[in-house]
Amino acid sequence: MSSFRLDNKNAIITGAASGIGKAIAIRFAAVGAKVHLLDTNRELLNEALTEIEAEGWFASAHYCDVTDQSHFQEIAAAIADQGGIQVLVNNAGIAHIGNLENTSEADMDRIFSVNVKGVYNGMYACIPYMKQTGGAILNMASVASSVGISDRFAYSMSKGAVFTMTLSVAKDYVSDNIRCNSISPGRVHTPFVDGFISKNYPGKEEEMFEKLAATQPIGRMGKPHEIADLALFLCCDEAGFITGTDYPIDGGFIKLNT
């Protein structure tokens, strides 16, 4: 019997249209999961769905605003009717740059709604079904959950909340055979990073990319498939003895920079 499989397990992945979420969806589909891609970008969502189906793997795509609890519940119920929900990856999130003084109330509300409430909504929608069969929840935290990073006030707040929600859910539902862990990536090279650099540093893209890459002691940014590999391990049966734990995957950023 092959290891690290998710055969016939329904896996919900938020923010699955691009970047880390897409990489996780592809990785899970490749090992037998029935992946359900949730995102607000319809165009990229359909592209990701087409890419997975072209390999002969199972996938479904759902437009979903994770800040809308009732909508998330409707989607979860429809998926659960197809064999329950065994895996949830709360990956959807947005970034923000600024310290306390230049973070507006609107900024704070927006970050909270997606990065905190969105994770809450995902777990709130899926845990009732996981209680019937057991399951694995994986939340996307950040190195900003553990160390201070300049000009990331609201973002750090939100990712700290993700980390502590992970601990609370792991504690409360361990007797229901539900495991809950989180991943804390450092900088990962995704389309978001390229867009951020081109928007904020026009004409200096290569220079800024190298500068940001160098903040990881290992000397480069992470790759989405590396995050996906860790996500697979934490969501498959081989990690059945792991819950209530955060896993940094950061090129040494936390331990070697502090």
Q: What is the distance between the alpha carbons of residues 113 and 30, in angstroms, rounded to a whole number?
A: 32
Helices 224-235 and 19-30 pack at an angle, to 10 degrees, of 50
* Catalytic-labelled residue, pool 63, 124, 129, 155: 155
Cβ pair 142, 165 in contact under 8 A: no
- What is d(CA 138, CA 87) in angstroms, rounded to the nearest whole number? 8
* Residue 120 bears catalytic tag: no
Query: Which tokens go with 182?
Result: 């989180």
Say which residues have a Cβ less than 8 Å from residue 141's Cβ, sequence separation at least 6. 159, 162, 163, 166, 182, 183, 184, 246
Q: Provide the β-strand partners of residue 138.
A: 89, 181
Helix (H, G, I), strand (E, B) or coil at 137: strand
Which residues are part of the catalytic machinery?
Answer: 155
